Amino acid sequence: MIKRICLLILGILLSGAVSVWAQYKPSPKAAKQYNEALRDVNSGKDEEAARKLKKIIKKNPAYDKALLTLADILVMQKKSEEAILYYQQLTLAAPDFSFKPWYVLGKKYLEKADYSSGSKYFQQVLQFKNAPKNALLDAELYLSQCVFALNALKNPVDYHPFNFGDSINSEVDEYLPSLTADDEVLIFTRRTSQSEDFYFSVRQADTFRIAEPMPKPLNSVQNEGAHCLSADGNTMFFTACYRNDSYGGCDLYFSKRTFEGWDRPTNLGSTINTEHWESQPSISYDGKTLYFISNRPGGFGGSDIWYSQLKEDGGWGIPENLGELVNTRKDDISPFVHPDDQTLYFASEGLPGMGKLDIYLSKREKNGEWGKPQNLGYPINTERDESSLFVNLAGTLALFSSQARDSRGANDLYYFELPPALRPEKVIYVKGIVKDKDSGRPLASQVEVVDLNSGEVVHNVETFYNDGRFIVSLPAGNSFAFNVNRQGYLLFSENFTIDSNRAASEVYNISLERIKVGGEVVLKNIFYQSNSFALEDRSETELRKLAVFLQKNPSLVIEIQGHTDNVGTKAYNKELSSNRAKTVYNRLMELGVISQQIVYMGYGDSQPIADNDSESGRASNRRTQFRVLKL
């Protein structure tokens, strides 16, 4: 039992033993007046009922039923501050009468960030074993939030938010920000008196230009809200509400960028969208998993986080719930899966935190499931709602929306440096321009990135004639094959191994060479076992790519060439390079290439392309390449 406090309410001092107040019996007259007040409530005469109850309580300050009924009426009348007084009076007059005043007062203290008082009240709620199950579960949750918050206040995280400034923020609401992988373009939602629309701003030196509306048809006369971009920036997923083709209130849509601009948005269909609410999409770095929130049946509480996986036919699979470690009895919203594919940021009301919506992160475990959420800490989280955090690809900056003291009048966009302990795994982006080697003009082409360990395509990006640009993100810990293809041109081959020492970005100006006699391509994704001509499994992607290239150009004749460094005897190197070239030849034959299109030759160490005085130079010389012999 919490320490008894003397409280003067309506001119009467309340005090006394619990046993006295808990057994309060009203006089017949008071009981009759109480029943009359109840009839008024049932007739919708709340004002009259409140007047009668106050009169009863003035003469019977310990009348527990009257106190509770009056407080509840005042809550319905949105007179919460006055209601609090009567709830407080009831806890003193009859502390064992009902869990409700303790519960209401506990929530009030939690909302005011008085976590010490709140914890005491929720402890009292838990003494009422016969209270409704949901009330007891809530009390346990809110007690855990008070305990967490008291500790978080003593151990604040490093947090220094900055306003994006007048070029981005205005007197109306700005929220739901995102950045492209290179941090060059900021996209967000702005709410005006007429509608919600998408805006964008391009970086200029150390700042951003004045924000402009996104072009039609992304923006319409209707509302457009939460969004996300695919890693290549060519597909936008977003929320739109009450459109003619919607399945319910708010649905998920997508639009693709083409040479002419963004195409007409398309509803993601009945597999994703339902008669219920779907919103706040987040797409994985490889474009194969779509995360979103929905209040559809089958969840754990209010809004839950769901996900759907892309099928081989290009459609989306039946959504699955993200699970009870992330989703709770309360609302769980604003999922953002970082391009590392290992870190999920989201907001929840149902986990230990500072109260209301807090932001959390969850790390993917070895079994592929999302692990126990971690609160981002105070003062990132406060007693107010926090949600919709976006973390840039480098993992260093977090973007969010808030109505802080230096806002321009409503919710503004802010950013802050994310503390190292809250950052995702290392990710790089590869950015480039594909051009014709001879003319230098941009080329439309296909940029494909394959995980060499799994053989799965993680990016398949189309560049356009007007700029030839592309950008893809790659998480740490894997090796990737990187190919650029265009009909009439030779292949382009590269590979990356993403480790902690690699730079945050790679920038390439890729010059594709037209197919011609004498043209050569180093096949950088063909690998052999050490001092052997046996191919490693991760070479299969490149070999299949070369086989398709030859089948699309049936008149082409090429020579497969094996080359080595100068370590070992010339005879040994000649034999090793020849056997390696033959192994590639044989595998191409197995993949359906006709023998008239390929010959092979081993050149040993006779044709170096780098010096043999360093390991990096020797590695460059150990290569397989092809040369065009005949068109």
pLDDT for 165 equals 93
pLDDT for 556 equals 96
Among residues 519, 494, 525, which one has the least CA distance to residue 508? Answer: 494
Residue 2 lies in a domain: no
Residue where a domain terminates, one of 132, 154, 176:
154
The lowest-confidence range among 231-235, 419-423, 565-569 is: 231-235
Between 388 and 424, where is the model more confident?
A: 424
Band of pLDDT at residue 482, cut at 50, 70 and 90: confident
Residue 179 lies in a domain: yes
Query: Distance between CA atoms of 135 and 115, rounded to whole angstroms?
Result: 18
Residue 66: is its pLDDT beyond 90?
yes
Do 445 and 553 sit in the same domain of this protein? no
Q: What is the DSSP string of 177-207?
A: EEE-TTS-EEEEEEE-SS-EEEEEEEEETTE
pLDDT tens across 100-116, in order? 999 999 999 999 999 99
> How are beta strands 598-602 and 557-563 bridged, if at all?
parallel
pLDDT for 4 equals 25
pLDDT tens across 165-220, in order? 999 999 999 999 999 988 999 999 998 777 889 999 999 988 999 999 988 888 88
Residues 6+ apart with CB under 8 A from 159: 379, 380, 416, 419
Residue 211 lies in a domain: yes
Q: Domain with 504 in it: what CATH number? A: 2.60.40.1120
Residue where a domain terminates, one of 154, 188, 208:
154
pLDDT for 13 equals 29
Query: Distance between CA atoms of 321 and 304, rounded to whole angstroms?
Result: 7
Band of pLDDT at residue 14, cut at 50, 70 and 90: very low
pLDDT tens across 113-141, in order? 999 999 999 999 999 999 999 999 999 99
pLDDT for 8 equals 27
Neighbours of 587 (CB within 10 A): 18
Q: Token pair 């036919």 is at which residue?
A: 313
Neighbours of 315 (CB within 10 A): 12
pTM: 0.85
Do 272 and 359 sit in the same domain of this protein? yes
Q: Domain with 576 in it: what CATH number? A: 3.30.1330.60
Do 220 and 309 sit in the same domain of this protein? yes
**3-class DSSP state of 360:** strand
pLDDT for 9 equals 29
Do 249 and 305 sit in the same domain of this protein? yes
Q: Does residue 161 have a cis peptide bond before it, meaning omega lies within 30 degrees of 0?
A: no
The lowest-confidence range among 7-16, 46-55, 96-105, 293-302 is: 7-16
pLDDT tens across 393-414, in order? 999 999 999 887 788 878 899 9
Do 415 and 430 sit in the same domain of this protein? no
Say if CB 103 and CB 93 are below 8 A apart.
no
Residue 241 lies in a domain: yes
pLDDT for 474 equals 84
φ, ψ of residue 572 in degrees (nearest 5): -65, -45
pLDDT for 15 equals 29
Q: Domain with 80 in it: what CATH number? A: 1.25.40.10
- Can you list the alpha helix ranges (DSSP code H) found in 60-214? 64-76, 80-93, 100-111, 115-125, 133-154
**3-class DSSP state of 601:** strand
Distances (CA, A) of 121 to 75, 151, 376, 546, 554: 19, 18, 26, 71, 80
pLDDT for 20 equals 36
pLDDT for 476 equals 76
**Strand runs (DSSP E) across 310-342, as ranges?**
320-321, 332-337
Sign of CA dihedral 605, 608, 611, 616: negative
Do 549 and 495 sit in the same domain of this protein? no
pLDDT for 574 equals 97
338: region left, alpha or beta (phi > 0 left; psi from -120 to 50 alpha):
beta
Residue 278: is its pLDDT beyond 90?
yes
Do 347 and 477 sit in the same domain of this protein? no
Task: Give the count of domains, the chain.
Answer: 4
Residue 7: is its pLDDT beyond 50?
no
DSSP state of 83: H
First to last CA, the chain: 92
- For residue 296, what are its two tokens? 């559809």
pLDDT for 500 equals 67
- For residue 14, what are its two tokens? 């309340």
Residue where a domain terminates, one of 97, 132, 154:
154
Domain that holds residue 19: 7-154
Q: Does residue 217 have a cis peptide bond before it, meaning omega lies within 30 degrees of 0?
A: yes
Do 273 and 399 sit in the same domain of this protein? yes
pLDDT for 499 equals 74
Among residues 540, 532, 529, which one has the least CA distance to residue 577? Answer: 532
Distances (CA, A) of 277 to 1, 248, 294, 480, 509: 44, 7, 5, 38, 44
- For residue 208, what are its two tokens? 């951003």
Do 258 and 293 sit in the same domain of this protein? yes
Do 413 and 475 sit in the same domain of this protein? no
494, β-bridge pairs: 482
Do 35 and 122 sit in the same domain of this protein? yes
pLDDT tens across 558-608, in order? 999 999 999 999 999 999 999 999 999 999 999 999 999 999 999 999 999
Do 127 and 138 sit in the same domain of this protein? yes
Query: Distance between CA atoms of 203 and 339, rounded to whole angstroms?
Result: 21
pLDDT for 403 equals 81
pLDDT for 496 equals 80
pLDDT for 41 equals 92
Q: Domain with 194 in it: what CATH number? A: 2.120.10.30
pLDDT tens across 332-375, in order? 999 999 999 999 999 999 999 999 999 999 999 999 999 999 99
